[in-house]
Structure 1
Amino acid sequence: MSVDRRHWLAGAAALALNTVPLGRALADEAFPTRPIMMWVPWAAGGATDLSLRLLAELAAPALGQPVVVGNRGGAGGTMAMPILQTAEPNGYTIAQMPQPVFRAPFIQQVLWDPIRDVTPIIQLSGVTFGVLVAQDSKLRKLEDLFEFARARPGELSIATNGIGTTPHLVLEALFTDRGLRYIHVPYKGTAELTLAVEGGQVMVGVNSSGFGPEVDAGRLRLLATMGAQRTRRWPQVPTLRESGFNIVAMSPYGLAGPRGLPPNVLAVLHDGFKKALFHPRFAENLARYDQEVAYLGPEDYAQACREEYEKERAAAGRLGVPRS
């Protein structure tokens, strides 16, 4: 064989190696070899943020790399979706998938799709929502809110963690559907919302159970919860359903990566976070916020995401919520 031919064959082989499809290259690559970035679409310091930071810490040993947590609060919990939409599908960028991402496309213009643009990794848990007032508030029960709204239209201020979130839509069902008016005050996170209710900046708060320590300490009073049954933590507090409203909300959430994660990368991420999910420390953390493990693997979680998306489509249609 001539020297020129050997050079040609060597060059052809190198070219072939450099043109292996990206998906196959990623599938063949060891994973992970560097830290993983996990985005939390809520402000730092809230219940979900603290829980996911612990999950990241517990998953790191199984993954063999640190999991770095970043916050992108605002827009009702949807700010991580543009990150997933544009990230490389290599497993180094993941994010929490809260319930509002399935609702947002039906109430506002977004450039991302919560089904098309992600790879579901694992469902983790759900949240307990509650209606809160300051301990010294004259509003003693849920019906007091409606009586106040009837007597003084547009004066009742109620805080949630954002436009289009589950608490916001519950309020629409409770008030607007009955011809009652209230002032909606959105906050980026649970911590600042509970402080606003406690300090009197707003009269009522509706949020997830990161408010638990404030309730247990006697600084906030819980008027109702939104689960199918009363909570074990506050068994004296009635549910919305018990109060005559056919509403149950628990907003299941999990983790997802960009569309097209290679199967081996998906498996590694799932296994690492599943081990963390069932760690005793994480179970204790969930109990602190009146949550429980609600595990689903990638296929079942993907199916659950599709079902939630269709439920939100139907709910938006019933409420007649316009896109902004």
Structure 2
Amino acid sequence: MTDRPTAQLSRRSLLAAAAALSAPAIARAATFPDRPIRLICPWTAGGSTDLQMRAIAEAAGKILGQPMVVENRPGAGGTLGAVALLQARPDGYTLAQLPITVFRYPFMQATPQWNPLTDFTFISHITGYLFGVVVRADSPFRTFPDLIAWAKANPGKLTYGTPGVGSTLHITMEQIALKAGVEFLHVPFRGVAENQTALLAGTVMASADSSGWAQLVRDGKLRLLVTWGAERAKSFPDVPTLKELGYDIVSASPYGFGGPKGMDPPVVRTLDEAFRRAIDDPGHLSILERFDMQPWYLSSAEYAAFAAQLTENEKTMVQRLGLRL
């Protein structure tokens, strides 16, 4: 004979379990986050990206009520954060910067490691870089035309460092070389720290990098020859842009933050809102100002649409230039 109360309890338990399984996103959104969030910076510590990410992570963590911890994974042209996302759980606790190389590298590889539009969740677009070319303060190159003139007279002997093969800095320098009719010798590094160290030591003659060089320029240790923005940098108004020097090139390399594919929409909205508010945090804005970086917020949906256009642009550029890793 069946024990009726036990049977009713069993059915209630099954119904409760089914209900819990049918609404995991709601439950997770209500409790997210309940532990620290990891934000991967695919560049070395101390550079403009690292400092920007630490500032916004601190502000976002306060908004979320849980620490957001920055983890550096430099190398591979800034794509190791994206690689980490491929293996991470889509629970919102592992995020990474998505630099432009994430959208470029798949078209430079015989066997792409990821699809930039289907293998990630786009959370928030944040900002873009100020790029430029610097030399040591005692360099004979007083201007960027001086550097180009020397390169013309000494084919293949002018060495310059960047954060890696296939980076925007590498590609832009090669575009400059093509337009100027010169040949440079590229020396790739893992990030701004190694790049600057090599320049200061005289291992390379010039460095093309994001504005992590800014303080060294202000301190008189480096000389800034040119910037790559649409307009002159606010902090360095006496330094010309590439366009002013006759090169029809503007390069800012925008970036945002993403997570693994398949994240719950409520969790994405929670993170997006935190980053949206954190962008305007005074501590974060001071870092952007320090490196002449501009706030460039896009919501999750806007960022996804922007990423689709960016991917198409990068595919076209890679095919046009015949770039390969």
TM over 0.5: yes
Matched, 1:201 2:203: yes
Give the aligned partner of residue 319 of structure 1: 321
Aligned AA for 2:199? V
CA-to-partner distance for each residue in 1:34-91, whole Å, 9 max, x for gaps?
1111111001121111111111111112111111111110011101112111211110
CA-to-partner distance for each residue in 1:87-135, whole Å, 9 max, x for gaps?
1111011111111111111122431122111111111111100011111
**Quick one: distance in 2 between partners of 1:153 and 1:8?**
86
Q: What TM-score results when the alignment is normalised by the length of structure 2?
A: 0.93
Mapping of residues 196-235 of structure 1, within 5 Å: 196-235=198-237
* CA positional deviation for 1:309: 0.8
Match of 1:245 among 247, 250, 256: 247
Q: How has the CA–CA distance of structure 1 residues 36 and 152 changed in structure 2, closer, same or farther, with 3 Å as cutoff?
A: same
Give the aligned partner of residue 2 of structure 1: 2
**Quick one: distance in 2 between partners of 1:185 and 1:11?**
68
**Quick one: distance in 2 between partners of 1:178 and 1:248?**
16
CA-to-partner distance for each residue in 1:242-285, whole Å, 9 max, x for gaps?
11111101011111111111111011111112221111111111
* CA positional deviation for 1:178: 5.3
2:253 aligned counterpart, secondary structure = coil
Aligned AA for 2:319? G
**Quick one: distance in 2 between partners of 1:4 and 1:72?**
59
- Runs of 4+ in structure 1 deviating by more than 3 angstroms, as ranges, are 4-9, 11-16, 18-22, 176-179
**Quick one: distance in 2 between partners of 1:231 and 1:180?**
26
1:80 aligned counterpart, secondary structure = helix
**Quick one: distance in 2 between partners of 1:70 and 1:20?**
34
CA-to-partner distance for each residue in 1:133-164, whole Å, 9 max, x for gaps?
11111122222222222222221111001111
* CA positional deviation for 1:16: 7.6
1:27–1:265 contact (8 Å) kept in structure 2: no
Give the aligned partner of residue 115 of structure 1: 117
2:77–2:101 contact (8 Å) kept in structure 1: yes
1:175 aligned counterpart, secondary structure = helix
2:135–2:225 contact (8 Å) kept in structure 1: yes
Q: How has the CA–CA distance of structure 1 residues 21 and 178 changed in structure 2, closer, same or farther, with 3 Å as cutoff?
A: farther
Q: Percent identity?
A: 41
The answer for unaligned runs of 5 or more in structure 1 is none
**Quick one: distance in 2 between partners of 1:10 and 1:92?**
35
Give the aligned partner of residue 75 of structure 1: 76
**Quick one: distance in 1 between partners of 2:164 and 2:290?**
23
How many residue pairs end up in the alignment? 322
Q: How has the CA–CA distance of structure 1 residues 19 and 83 changed in structure 2, closer, same or farther, with 3 Å as cutoff?
A: farther
Q: How has the CA–CA distance of structure 1 residues 163 and 20 changed in structure 2, closer, same or farther, with 3 Å as cutoff?
A: farther
**Quick one: distance in 2 between partners of 1:41 and 1:262?**
24
Match of 2:287 among 278, 285, 288: 285
Aligned AA for 1:90? D
The answer for unaligned runs of 5 or more in structure 2 is none
**Quick one: distance in 2 between partners of 1:172 and 1:21?**
54
Q: What TM-score results when the alignment is normalised by the length of structure 1?
A: 0.93
**Quick one: distance in 1 between partners of 2:152 and 2:193?**
30
1:26–1:90 contact (8 Å) kept in structure 2: no
**Quick one: distance in 2 between partners of 1:68 and 1:317?**
37
* CA positional deviation for 1:183: 1.5
**Quick one: distance in 1 between partners of 2:107 and 2:8?**
57
Matched, 1:53 2:36: no
